[in-house]
Amino acid sequence: MTLPEQYRAIRQASETICRPLRTEDYVVQPVVDVSPPKWHLGHTTWFWETFVLMKYDLAYKVYNPDYNYVFNSYYETVGARVIRTDRGNLSRPAVEDIYAYRKYVDAAMERLLMSCATDDTILRDILLLGLNHEQQHQELLWSDIKYILGHNPLFPALSDGDLDDGKGDAGKEFVSMAAGIYEIGFEGEDFCFDNEKARHKVYLNDYEIAGSLVTNEEFIAFIKAGGYGNFIYWHAEGWDWVKVNQIKSPLYWHMIDGKWHQYTLAGLRLLDMKAPVCHISYYEAVAYAAWRGMRLPTESEWEAASGKFRWGKRWEWTESAYLPYPGFKKAEGAIGEYNGKFMVNQMVLRGASVATPAGHSRNTYRNFFHPHLRWQFTGIRLAK
């Protein structure tokens, strides 16, 4: 697929995700970690306007100068912005204005892509980053929309079907890995994010890693055993989180008439016992592993073994803090802010999820979130 074809397909995919929404759904921001869907649509458009069109199309006229303040996410280099907690206060620009903005920028991008030499290394790199950036926001759209609708007391469905097919990951119970030196990190000519470099060697001791993810049925056993009420399984910070927030089950779980239900994008449904547990925090993942007498894999262990099990249902918490690899280098300017400045106080997740766009996953991909967050499609793979 050519770059213009990729651009059209990926831009359309963002709008397809939002098509079932009502106008009111586009504006809601229940918590700081969730952005209104219309903000995602505007921000991804701003990215193309700011980092591609304004630099490579000398005739381009900015659609609205005020949009830089509204849709800049965290790029200090680009200027002031609406703080993240206030994105839900933006009744304007209206949804129809944002779709007009997307149409305007897409037309300009079409002209640029058809007229410029996309084999120019610098331009091609920023185009590929833009495409992957929009795919990241497509996954955020799925998770943010689910949070918005899943915290509506009516539990409205987005569509008749859910993203998740409910099937578990078939595989060996545990995969044995021999001690030795392994190479970790991305290497090659294809696209990767800067945090996946540089490829380097690590020494790993003998270990075993589960061939499949922890299921809802297995996690219910932890709940029934009093796992949420026993501090011995929890980090001190995690135990505080449980008590302060009165956490008793994974996100979106509801006990109704003595049976566990779960909110899905198709509405409230009986919990599928065989499906991999989802919407789990790092704290919960660690506690469950401790209850089982095991642990989470490090990200190096996960990557070294990734060719021996299936992945893609859930983002999988690891026991690794999000830190730079040896040899990591930040790019110059605003693009250098993309990943590097977040390498503190977060944990690495590996794999992909049911919300990850096709072609956007690879075994070197490093996702990262704060340990208490669970609105993403996160799950558990055990190690020992």
Query: Mean pLDDT, to the nearest integer, of 367-384?
Result: 98
- Six-digit token string for 51: 């980092």
Task: Give the pTM.
Answer: 0.96
171 confidence band (pLDDT: 50, 70, 90):
low
pLDDT exceeds 80 at position 119: no
pLDDT tens-digit readout, 79-98: 889 888 899 999 999 999 99
Check pLDDT > 70 for residue 191. Answer: yes
When pLDDT is cut at 50, 70 and 90, the band that residue 118 belongs to is: low
Mean pLDDT throughout 120-143?
94
> What pLDDT was estimated at residue 201?
98
How does residue 1 score in pLDDT terms, banded at 50, 70 and 90?
confident
CATH class of segment(s) 174-379: alpha beta
Reading the block at residue 77, the tokens are 């280099």
126: which 2 tokens? 């920023």
- What's residue 154's pLDDT? 97
Rounded to whole angstroms, what are the CA distances from 190 to 79, 83, 187? 31, 34, 8
pLDDT band at 121 (very low <50, low <70, confident <90, very high): confident
**3-class SS of residue 56:** helix
Which helix H or strand E contains 4, and what residues bound it? Answer: helix 3-18
pLDDT of 117 above 70: no
Rg of the chain, C-alpha, whole Å:
21
Give the start-end residues of each E strand in 240-356: 253-256, 259-264, 267-270, 315-321, 347-351
Residue 108 clears pLDDT 90, i.e. is over it: yes
- Summarize pLDDT for 40-58 with one digit per residue, the tens: 999 999 999 999 999 999 9
What distance lies between CA 247 and its chain's CA centroid? Answer: 22
pLDDT above 70 for 39: yes
Q: In this predicted structure, what is the pLDDT of residue 115?
A: 85
Query: For the residues 240-252, what does the mean pLDDT come to?
Result: 98
pLDDT score recorded for residue 75 = 86
Q: How confident is the model at residue 338 (pLDDT cuts 50, 70, 90)?
A: confident
Report the distance separating Cα 72 and Cα 50, nearest Å: 9
- 103: left (phi > 0), else alpha (psi -120 to 50), else beta? alpha
| Per-residue confidence (pLDDT) for residue 325, from 0 to 100 | 97
Judge contact between 384 and 208, C-beta under 8 A.
yes
CA neighbor of 162 nearest in space, from 266, 56, 25: 266
Average pLDDT, the chain: 95
Domain 3-150 sits in CATH at 1.20.120
Pair 143, 163: CB distance under 8 Å: no
Beta strands in the chain (DSSP E): 174-177, 180-184, 200-204, 207-210, 253-256, 259-264, 267-270, 315-321, 347-351, 367-369, 378-379
pLDDT band for position 166 (cuts 50, 70, 90): low
What digits encode the pLDDT tens for the residues 54-79? Answer: 999 999 999 999 999 999 988 888 78
DSSP symbol at 174:
E
Domain ranges, ordered by start, for the chain: 3-150, 174-379
Centroid of chain to Cα 22: 24
Distance CA 82, CA 164 (A): 34
Phi, psi of 175 (to 5 degrees): -105, 130
State the Cα–Cα distance between residues 218 and 356, nearest whole angstrom.
25
Listed residue (337, 245, 220, 235) closest to 296, CA to CA: 235
Mean per-residue pLDDT for 335-339? 83
Query: Residue 312: pLDDT above 90?
Result: no
Question: How far is residue 135's CA from residue 139's CA, in Å, rounded to a whole number?
Answer: 7
Evaluate whether 143 touches 355 at the Cβ level (below 8 Å).
Answer: yes
